[in-house]
Amino acid sequence: MATHLVWFRADLRIHDNLALAAACRDKNARVLALFIATPQQWQQHAMAPRQAAFLHAHLNGLQQQLADKGIPLLYAQVDDFAAQAEKVVQLCDEHDVTQLFYNYQYELNEQQRDRQLERALEDVTCQGFDDSVILPPGSVMTGNHEMYKVFTPFKNAWLRRLKEGLPECAAAPAGREGEKVTPVALDFDYPQQPFDTALFPASEKEAIARLRQFCQHDAGEYETQRDFPAIEGTSRLSACLALGVLSPRQCLHRLLAEQPQALEGGPGAVWLNELIWREFYRHLMTYHPDLCKYRPFIRWTDNVKWQAEDAQLQAWQDGQTGYPIVDAAMRQLNETGWMHNRLRMITASFLVKDLLIDWRAGERYFISQLIDGDLAANNGGWQWAASTGTDAAPYFRIFNPTTQGQKFDTDGVFIRRWLPELATVPDKAIHDPWTWADKQGIPLDYPRPVVDHKQARVATLAAYEAARKA
């Protein structure tokens, strides 16, 4: 009898899981599932404790869902990717596995692990699937068969390709004959921090319901609401996409079911744009693996003389910079494990362009806190903000944190939510509280700005220009 093993990684769902669907296609095959925790590897990559808790919840949920289908989940914990590959070989041998199914991961270490594993499994047929993207890397290329370096041409080519035929979603597998499967509680040796289940769906069923609700009610208004952090105008589904609790194909199909004009630029198109950005960064990482090694895409930016300001980095991490919109955003991140997308741009720009601190320090800190931590998206966002990446903001474009706050949180509703020490400051003064406090002779339990934006802007431009000429 054929034995099929499905190795789950960042794809913790039973609906529209290409590897799982393929493994279950043969009704006569015995199907086993597998998840291998790698705490040491997670530590090296600084995975956020909230993301670990989110993974833990969904792993146990996945086990129950598989059990309901008659599929047992094998579980193991090893240190790192090398040991992970060895474990897969061992389990394939123990269970007489004939075929191994998994969904591709595009990060460099993961790709190397999978290639080594395929070479080691001489008697097992390996099948991989492009599951975490709508269109696979290599399918959207320039006329010269090169990867696009700028988002808009990539997006246009991506849309053209998509209109040729939408990728289908795979149904959840039917129940399988055999012995009743009884789940056991799974755990792993990695720090965990509770997450807010009202903000982040704790089960696949809830994630699907959240997706449906967002596409019905909010996706059409996303363009007008997405930039204002005081409004719940975003989907908050990024954590589900990062761990594969939802697939991007599910997002696409649900969006088009509720907003049928999204592909033509109608309502829902701006949220679709976010899904395409996600694809862009994944495709880029596949073709430029140095991005996984924290190398800048624009090489001359490696010459920028970054400031080694530990005290300022700490102030930024703690939300104590004296710039209210930056501090409120950082406290939202520290408290919830998530940050509004507009604020990710503002805080990243502030760290790099106002404090002249290496973007990699910011990238690492975000990953250590984010419940939706994802290497491709996080690296892409930080390199955009730092003007070091492909399709980056020009280095001379520097956000003014005060005017950004005035523009996107005009009355300070979001700021007050996270900075209670500014409760007495009037709305008009909330973005520059010290100017008001000094005029009134009122003390504030809030730090003065760690840097003068105008002076910092001049210094940063000089540092980038010197690097470019070096």
Q: Is the dihedral of CA 18, 20, 22, 24 positive or negative?
A: negative
How many Cβ atoms are within 10 Å of 68's Cβ, its own excluded? 12
Q: Spot the catalytic one: 42, 271, 316, 382.
A: 382
Q: Which residues contact 326 (CB under 8 A, 6 or more apart)?
A: 316, 319, 346, 347, 350, 401
| Cβ neighbours of 216 (radius 10 Å) | 13
* DSSP state at residue 350: I
CB atoms near residue 305 (< 10 Å): 12
Using CA atoms, how far apart are residues 231 and 244, in angstroms rounded to an integer? 26
DSSP letter (8 states) at residue 352: I
Selecting among 274, 309, 434, 436, the annotated active-site residue is 274
Supply angle C-alpha 435, 440, 444, rounded to 5. Answer: 65
- Tell me, yes or no, if 418 is annotated catalytic: no
Q: Which two tokens stand for residue 297?
A: 């895409």
Residue 384 among the catalytic residues = no
Q: How far apart are the C-alpha atoms of 384 and 390, rounded to whole Å?
A: 7
Pair type for strands 99-103 and 125-129: parallel
Catalytic residue among 306, 309, 334, 436: 306
| Alpha-carbon gap, residue 192 to 55, rounded angstroms | 10
CA distances from 64 to 41, 186, 399 (A): 26, 11, 47
Does the annotation count 300 as an active-site position? Answer: no
Verify whether residue 274 is a known catalytic residue. yes
β-sheet bridge partners, residue 126: 100
Q: Are 155 and 177 in contact (CB under 8 A)?
A: no
User: Catalytic residue among 158, 277, 338, 418, which?
Assistant: 277
Name every residue whose Cβ is closer than 8 Å to that of residue 39 and which is 6 or more positions away in sequence: 77, 79, 188, 189, 190
Q: Is 359 a catalytic residue?
A: yes
Q: Could you list the active site residues? A: 274, 277, 306, 341, 359, 382
